[in-house]
Amino acid sequence: MTINVKIFLAAGLFLTACQHPGNTSKTPEADSPVHKTVRGEVPYKVLEHYFLKNTATGQAVPAKITSKEVFEKLFGAAATMKGRPTPVHFEQEYVVAVVKQETDTATLLIPVSLQRSSSGDMTFSYINRRSDRQSFSIRPILLIAVDRTEQGNIRLKEH
């Protein structure tokens, strides 16, 4: 039995040593919600805790929203226990919006990348993951914020 206790303590020490703060690279970039750029990629941050307002139903939602007024006319802040909506600074950023049709199927829109083509246009790729039917309808949305220095026509591409 003492061998089991010694093995358990040794395993515990080993695991806690792996979690030592000196072993992690804690940089401001590691905490940043902005996706890092790779060749051809444009950085963006995912906006969380927003919903499409009922007053926007039936309206065409533009893929690129550059003003706070238009954004607030279309989207509302969702008060949840998980946190506050991601702030958007329209002086420095614009919003790319993916808005799907109303559905009673559980739907998750997952961002993949924002790529700049050689023509200067940008393609925002995302995955549309659908699962079980629900007893209610939703209007799935995915919002990202892009720095205003990154300009170009926006194209949405579903995977």
pLDDT in tens, the chain (159 residues): 555 544 444 444 444 444 444 444 433 343 444 444 434 899 999 999 999 998 887 778 999 999 999 999 999 998 776 789 999 999 999 999 999 999 999 999 999 999 999 999 999 999 999 999 999 999 999 999 999 999 999 999 999
| Cα angle 105-107-110, degrees, rounded to a multiple of 5 | 165
**Euclidean distance between CA atoms 73 and 70, whole angstroms:** 5
Whether the CB-CB separation of 46 and 86 falls below 8 Å is answered with yes
Nearest Cα to Cα of residue 62 among 51, 70, 52: 70
Q: What is the pTM of this model?
A: 0.73
